[in-house]
Amino acid sequence: MKKRPYIISGPCSAETKEQLLKTAKQLVKHGSIDCLRAGIWKPRTRPNFFEGIGETGLQWLKETGDAVNLPVTTEVANTRHVELALKNNIDILWIGARTVANPFSVQEIANALKGIDIPVMVKNPVNPDLQLWVGAIERIFQAGINNIKAIHRGFSSFEKSAYRNTPKWEIPIELMRIFPEIPIICDPSHIGGNRNMIKAIAQKALDLEMDGLMIESHFNPDEAWSDSKQQITPKKLQQILSKLVVREPEVNDKTLKSKLDILRKKIDGLDEEMINLLSNRMNIVEEIGNHKKENEITILQADRWKKIINDRNNTAREAGVSEEFIQRILKVIHKESINIQTNILNKKKNE
């Protein structure tokens, strides 16, 4: 039996008691969700924007959850938030991206949670720093919280992108490897920043074996007090969920499994060949570095690098390989080559 993804939904912000209840009732009417969310405090980048309804909204949120028989979750950013959330019997807490970026704040929250049995979800930090994310999870775990989930909401970037927060899928994938026991929830709303992108991002997350989705919904998204462009109606949410394909992580068919095993063994062999080729390439890089040191030649020759990119792009095109993909690989290899030659040039003669 396929595992249904864990679904968290609700408005970006709690605005009024009526707004929460109307949205929650529509969520229940139009489909099955597992948890009701709403922001009570909204950390905004700049002042003079709506920063959340505050403590009053906690009671609204809990009463709404009870009315529709759903657990509720909200973001906490400091110890005072934790105290008030616990006082109002909020079922699940989450720590936001801005807070996760500050280990001091995470530790204060962890200290406030010691001895308390409550589920905690940890969003990735604003910047693409895996170790900050890992560290935040470890701090919450060391506080005695065993029910932890991670939330992937994308990363801020100066690069021009179609996304509000670039997904950088390789980072949550690496988190899965480090913490295989911790479920990962994807937040398509914050990754896309646009309601039209939610379905594609959600499907990608499920295809990468993520365990659930957090999608912002509002009974009237265009009139929402915060992040209106990325919210959808409960009815639209159900339409999206009904079209998502939940695939099996394991292969049960013996014939298919045998074919996949053969193909995977081929990949293993090719990976070994690539590593050996890269080792040989770096040995040559060292030789070049020694010649440059002896002859006082600069590490980087811009014309040579430009020629490499052009030549390899042509080779990639003829081989039917994405030029963008090859350029990404070449940039990583070039960076390592520069590091190797820099160490050689900086090495003293007697060392």
pLDDT in tens, the chain (351 residues): 456 899 999 999 999 999 999 999 999 999 889 999 999 998 767 777 788 899 999 999 999 999 999 999 999 999 999 999 999 999 999 999 999 999 999 999 999 999 999 999 999 999 999 999 999 999 999 999 999 999 999 999 877 789 999 999 999 999 999 999 999 999 999 999 999 999 999 999 999 999 999 999 999 999 999 999 999 999 999 999 999 999 887 777 788 888 888 998 999 999 999 999 999 999 999 999 999 989 988 888 888 889 999 999 999 999 999 999 999 999 999 999 999 999 998 887 655
CB 2 within 8 A of CB 36: no
Q: Which CATH architecture has domain 6-243?
A: Alpha-Beta Barrel (3.20)
Directed axis angle between helix 302-319 and helix 323-346, to 10°? 150
Length of the chain: 351
What is the structure's pLDDT at 1? 43
Strand partners, 212: 6, 185
d(CA 273, CA 217): 49
Among left, alpha and beta (phi > 0; psi -120 to 50; other), residue 131 is alpha
Residue 117, classed as helix, strand or coil, is: coil
Q: How crowded is residue 154: how many other Cβ atoms within 10 Å of its Cβ?
A: 29
Q: Is the dihedral of CA 152, 158, 159, 163 positive or negative?
A: positive
For 40, 141, 152, 175, 336, the CA distances from 107, given in Å and listed in that order, are 21, 11, 20, 20, 35
For residues 26 and 236, give the distance between their C-alpha atoms in angstroms, rounded to a whole number.
Answer: 11
Task: Give start and end residues of each alpha helix (H) in the chain.
Answer: 17-30, 56-68, 79-87, 97-100, 103-113, 130-142, 170-178, 188-192, 198-207, 234-243, 254-295, 302-319, 323-346
Identify the CATH number of the domain defined by range 254-346.
1.20.59.10
- CA 224/CA 288 separation, integer angstroms: 60
Domain boundaries, the chain: 6-243, 254-346
Using CA atoms, how far residue 203 sits from 156, 199, 206, 214, 279, in Å, is 21, 6, 5, 13, 37
- Model pLDDT, residue 350: 53
